[in-house]
Every structure is written in structure tokens, then in C-alpha cells.
Amino acid sequence: MKYPLVSIILVNWNGKAYIGECLRSLRKITYPSYEVILVDNASTDGSASYVKRTFPNVQVVQNKNNVGFAQGHDAGLQAAKGKFVLLLNPDTTVEPDFLDFLVQSIQHDESIGVVQPKVLLDSEKDRIDSIGAFFLPSGLLYHYGREKMETMSQYNQSMKIFTAKGVCMLIRKSVIEKIGLFDPDYFAYFEETDFCMRVWLSGWSVWYEPKARIYHQGGAAFGKTITPHIYFHSVKNMVCTYLKNLSLFRCVTTIPQLVTFHLFGTVFFFLRGKFAISRAILSGLWWNIRQCAVTYRKRQRTQCFRRVADGDYLPAVTKPVGFYYHYHQYFGNLRNYTDYDFTH
């Protein structure tokens, strides 16, 4: 096995409580050729100085403002020297051999552009946080295996997936150089799906590798509550992603379903007195109307990358689910809801 340099990029915002555990786990990995780059998004908890003092081999890039997940990774890429780039959330810990398996998987086939590991819940290490997501005709994502027992056979085989989860994904740097990474207008949420769709359109594929394992605390950067902030960015980015990347036929069949679902959600939350979250969903939809000219120009650039028709890859990364899954995915976290002004 060859050991090309891997640039591990972590984007941090006020993560001092868990960043140390993540970096200590990276010290123990068996893969021999890697560099670690920490991008600090103007943390106020002393994260950057703590890392500089405690982990002198980590390269720290400090942003003057919190530019979010998307632009934070762009800052890290400017310092990356590796043939492969590993995006890793700082609220994770890794098994020593995880990177060996990821690199082995991506080197197995030149057509593979992205590989994600088995991401397990840190609080319940025998349960799955993510093994990637599949496409649904409604436009929502099917988070296959979420919270299931990780020993089940169907979750322990390599497979193509529609999109990797941004918590941990290994990417060929040549792919990023061709199609870019994350849309800077996204700030957070759904940016990895937008990226993975461009990977598919460009002729590469996205895979899940079960032998690579990491553990994720989950939602530590934004807290464990469901907020209007999350709904606003999720809705605006979800609609924008499909407008940019789907064929015109798929746009006509998917986006009306997605918008209808969001409008139903607006009414649902309004009737339950969750006025801020209803307003957030409508604001996410309205953002796409206001930005339609910008999105059209982005679509033109994205479609220039297209080498594969939607019908040539989407059927392989689509799974059928019932209405209950849609309901649970969209409304199931109400018990964790908190009022929050998403405009701040």
C-alpha cells in the first residue's frame, strides 16, 4: 500500500472542550503520512492558543470572523499540501487504523472521489451516527442506518452513497481542484450534499467504507437543540443545491415536492405555536427566490462539470421509504426544539 500525504482539516469554533480529545486520538493513528490543520473561526474560548500550546505539530489557521463551515474549510485548503484531504469535525475521536482503511478504499479505484467512514455515536458506541445518506424523490435525505446497531450485516459492507456526511470525508484533492469544495453562501448545513452531487456529476463516485471507524459527539458546534437557525440554513441550502445540480427534468419533479413539504412544515409549526421556526422555513424559501439570478449563474457553472446524467447515478443511490420516515426526519426532533433568533 502506498502512503500519500493526507491533509487533515478541522474547522473549530469554541470547541476547546472537545478539540483536545480529538487531536490526542489523531496522535495515535497508524497511517504514517499526514498533516493536521486546524482552522479556528474566531473562537472566544481560547481554543487556538490551547492547540498551539498543547499540540505544536498542528498548523493553526486563524480567521478574524466566524465564516462558517464552508469558508472555514476553504481557508484550510489553502494550507493543505496532501494528495488527499480529510475533513474531520473536532467533536470526534478516531480509531488508530481509520485512515489506513479510507486511503486504501479511495486508492482501490481511480473513479472514487470521496469516501466516508462508519461514524458511530460517541454516547452509544455500538450505534450508528452516519454511514452516509441516500436520495429521496421528495428531496429529503435518507440517513441510512441512523441509530441502528453497527454490527448488523447490511451496515458492514462497502457501498455507493448519494452523499457523505461532512463530519468525516476523505477527498481526492484533484477533485476539489476541478469542481471546488463548498459553496461559501451556505455557511452551514447541506454543503456536503451540494459538493457530493458535483462529484457524481463530474464522473467520480462517493462511497462508504465500514472498516474505517470514528466516534462523533454530534451537533457540538451548534448545540444539540433544533433551532430556527438550523431550519433556515437547511431549507435554503437544500433548495439551492437541487436548483444548481439536478437536471431540468429532475428539478421539475423534485423541487415542487420539496417546497410543498416545507410549506406543510410551516403550517404544522405555526399551529403548534412555533412561530420562529415557521418564519425560518419561509425565510429559507424566500432566500432562494431573492437569489434566483445568482443561483442560475451557479447552475451554469455546475452543469459545465456534468459528465453523468442524473438517471445514470441517482437510481443506485436512491432508497424508497414511507411517509413515517419523512415525518420523523422533519418533525421528530421537536422535543429538542428551542426558540432562537435565526437572523443573528
Q: For 282-303, give the secondary structure using H, E and C.
A: HHHHHHHHHCHHHHHHHHHHHH
pLDDT, residue 74, reads 87
Query: Contact, 15 vs 43, CB < 8 A?
Result: yes
Beta-bridge partner residues of 22? none
**What per-residue string of b and e applies to 136-153 under the rule 16 or more CB within 10 Å gives b?**
bebbbbbbbbeeeebeee
pLDDT, residue 329, reads 67
pLDDT, residue 341, reads 29
3-state secondary structure of 307: coil
CA dist 102 → 1, 114, 255, 278 (Å): 12, 9, 34, 40
Taking the CA atoms of 266, 271, 277 and 283 in sequence, report the sign of the dihedral they define.
Answer: positive
pLDDT, residue 340, reads 30
pLDDT, residue 71, reads 85
| Pairwise CA distance, residues 7 & 240, whole Å | 29
pLDDT, residue 321, reads 82
Low-confidence ranges of the chain (pLDDT < 70): 219-226, 329-344
| Pairwise CA distance, residues 47 & 69, whole Å | 16
| Pairwise CA distance, residues 10 & 88, whole Å | 5
CB atoms within 10 A of CB 14: 17
pLDDT, residue 106, reads 97
pLDDT, residue 338, reads 34
pLDDT, residue 70, reads 81
Global model pTM greater than 0.75? yes
pLDDT, residue 334, reads 43
| Pairwise CA distance, residues 292 & 323, whole Å | 30
